[in-house]
Structure 1
């Protein structure tokens, strides 16, 4: 391009910018790429390296003052975005004995995956449930929820869970609302276990009506998930890509527990040497048991219990293990599926 033509174009670009216009031809390749080019990059957070920092946050600020005492897992490719992928959020939340994280609600959907500690509780729309490591708990959009931990004298200990939310997605949609409850805790109107008794045994109340895409169960116990994986490992075929992988379901619809996030639990057996796959979904993994190696794109990470790693869109993923490993994961699959944008490739 001649200097005269280049100067002429730049002058033209400067003139149209005054009218809030820009030339598509300068950005078309970035706006309509040949394949996904996520800004998020593969990354891992080693829990053993972070635990002391997480516990130190309990000395820096109280749960009441913080509202939610969380260390955000911020993707290195998305600095300052409070995001682990372009439309998913992740963070480690800590609640100490004797503390209450006050009740509020918001349009963002949230999941809790319990990483460490026993005895804390979470309340969702009038029912409390006790947290145990490996439990998957949901707080659907616009439901009151609060968290608490008994005093040490009552058996309380520090409890940590992984928060997963669709915060970045709702920011992109400008659809975020929030409201605080007038007191720290909401009234309890149902006994613990009520929702599981109604919906967790392959049955539904005879007059149940589906009013939203959210699951009526809000605690999926790890003991039952682990039992299912063990049985299938012994009796079923091992998938060459995923090992034994199950998705959590809304028992009233057969769909995902929440409309914007899918959740999974998988077992990779000892000696697993998986095949590579990739998908347009972005996935966040939390290691429950065992050790291994995951290759994501050009990155290789060794993982251990309580580590978290992320596989952005259209990055090849492959697992290798030397012992049984169990992984929990969540992704934006429901959004992509609803928009007919889910694409998968298995080598």
Structure 2
């Protein structure tokens, strides 16, 4: 017996398996090599979506169905190896959402945590638990689990962002709940910018007691995050595997901004080639700035601004930016870290 091979199936054993199958019993030794694997295995495949191509389809959908009728007008980015499952990785979901001028995506709430990463348009808003935030390119916006949220676009141009949710993870735990709000938009009880003022300036309200595991900041403006990368760039402290990579944090405890999803922003200078790297968290990347190529498990993917690509768990990744590049990324590392499962391989570095 080994972890990679099944025991020989004799006629007597086969007859036994068929007999106990009627009682909903299965011998572990016949399946152990497929359920406890020496390394991570899944149907998840490396893939890249061209943003301009996807945008054209999304705008076409804008003429076919309203945001209100659709509840959320989204084209799901389905992993080629997981078609029909609404997954970009084994544990995560991704989709491109469109809100046209004058539209409202109705208020609702659900168990799933969501992130928005703004890709097109400027000035539309998201409301979360009574506060609106104005969305700009590259902003990372959070909708916590169980929070009322709606989206509106009072500008004269379409607004598009990437949705990232832990839908497959919540489904795995059979913990999904969802509820619609009586009106299209929730009442606004706090002024725009309130949460960033209270929690985003290295200060906390004196008697603050966290009620949720998600960051109380729900919009991390790209302008601030990008400026931090540029300032740190002057130190020339480039990590061989990541260039310069930062993670978004919860200011209350310094942990991940979301309890199940880890989010990152990294700068790769022109001409820099990263060392081969792999980790157990399958990762979704967005090219915020610049262009280049990424080799994932030996397969090369060319990318430009706003393109989206995914790297499966435990597959080696090498980034080669042609210009200065900024990548946003998200993965289930937050959940893996909390469960003591996360693992990386930095090669010789």
CA separation in 2, counterparts of 1:50 and 1:189?
36
| CA deviation vs aligned residue, 1:257-305 (integer Å, no higher than 9, x gap) | 1100010000100111110111011111111010011111121101111
Structure 2 vs 1, CA of residues 236 and 203 (structure 1 numbering), >3 Å: closer, same or farther?
farther
CA separation in 2, counterparts of 1:65 and 1:223?
34
The answer to whether the aligner puts 1:15 opposite 2:19 as a matched pair is yes
Corresponding residue of 1:75: 79
Shift in Å, 1:311: 1.0
Shift in Å, 1:12: 2.3
CA separation in 2, counterparts of 1:171 and 1:40?
17
Corresponding residue of 1:208: 208
Which residue, 18, 25, 28 being the options, matches 1:24?
28
Runs of 5+ consecutive residues of structure 2 not aligned to the other structure = 1-8
Secondary structure, in 3 states, of the residue corresponding to 1:235?
coil
Shift in Å, 1:250: 0.6
Shift in Å, 1:27: 1.2
CA separation in 1, counterparts of 2:107 and 2:323?
41
Shift in Å, 1:253: 1.1
Q: Is the 8 A contact 1:333 1:342 kept in 2?
A: yes
CA RMSD of aligned residues (A): 1.0
TM-score (ref. length: structure 2): 0.95
| CA deviation vs aligned residue, 1:76-115 (integer Å, no higher than 9, x gap) | 1111110001110000000000100000000100000001
Corresponding residue of 1:184: 184
The answer to whether the aligner puts 1:139 opposite 2:117 as a matched pair is no
TM-score (ref. length: structure 1): 0.96
| CA deviation vs aligned residue, 1:301-336 (integer Å, no higher than 9, x gap) | 011111111111111111011210001001101111
CA separation in 2, counterparts of 1:327 and 1:95?
24
CA separation in 1, counterparts of 2:11 and 2:209?
66
Corresponding residue of 2:5: none
Shift in Å, 1:341: 0.6
The answer to whether the aligner puts 1:99 opposite 2:103 as a matched pair is yes
Further displaced range: 127-136 or 49-58: 49-58
CA separation in 2, counterparts of 1:148 and 1:49?
24
CA separation in 2, counterparts of 1:291 and 1:130?
27
The answer to whether the aligner puts 1:48 opposite 2:52 as a matched pair is yes
Secondary structure, in 3 states, of the residue corresponding to 2:63?
helix
Alignment of 1:301-316 (within 5 A): 301-316=301-316
CA separation in 2, counterparts of 1:229 and 1:128?
27
Shift in Å, 1:218: 0.4
Which residue, 54, 58, 63 being the options, matches 2:62?
58
Secondary structure, in 3 states, of the residue corresponding to 2:91?
coil
Corresponding residue of 2:317: 317
CA separation in 2, counterparts of 1:322 and 1:298?
19
| CA deviation vs aligned residue, 1:37-64 (integer Å, no higher than 9, x gap) | 1220111111122221111110111000
Alignment of 1:268-307 (within 5 A): 268-307=268-307
Corresponding residue of 1:84: 88
Shift in Å, 1:13: 2.1
CA separation in 2, counterparts of 1:86 and 1:213?
23
Runs of 5+ consecutive residues of structure 1 not aligned to the other structure = none
Shift in Å, 1:11: 2.6
Number of equivalenced pairs: 339
Q: Is the 8 A contact 1:288 1:326 kept in 2?
A: yes
CA separation in 1, counterparts of 2:222 and 2:275?
27
CA separation in 2, counterparts of 1:263 and 1:280?
15
Q: Is the 8 A contact 1:118 1:156 kept in 2?
A: no
The answer to whether the aligner puts 1:159 opposite 2:164 as a matched pair is no
Query: Following superposition, which runs of at least 4 residues in structure 1 exceed 4 angstroms of deviation?
Result: none
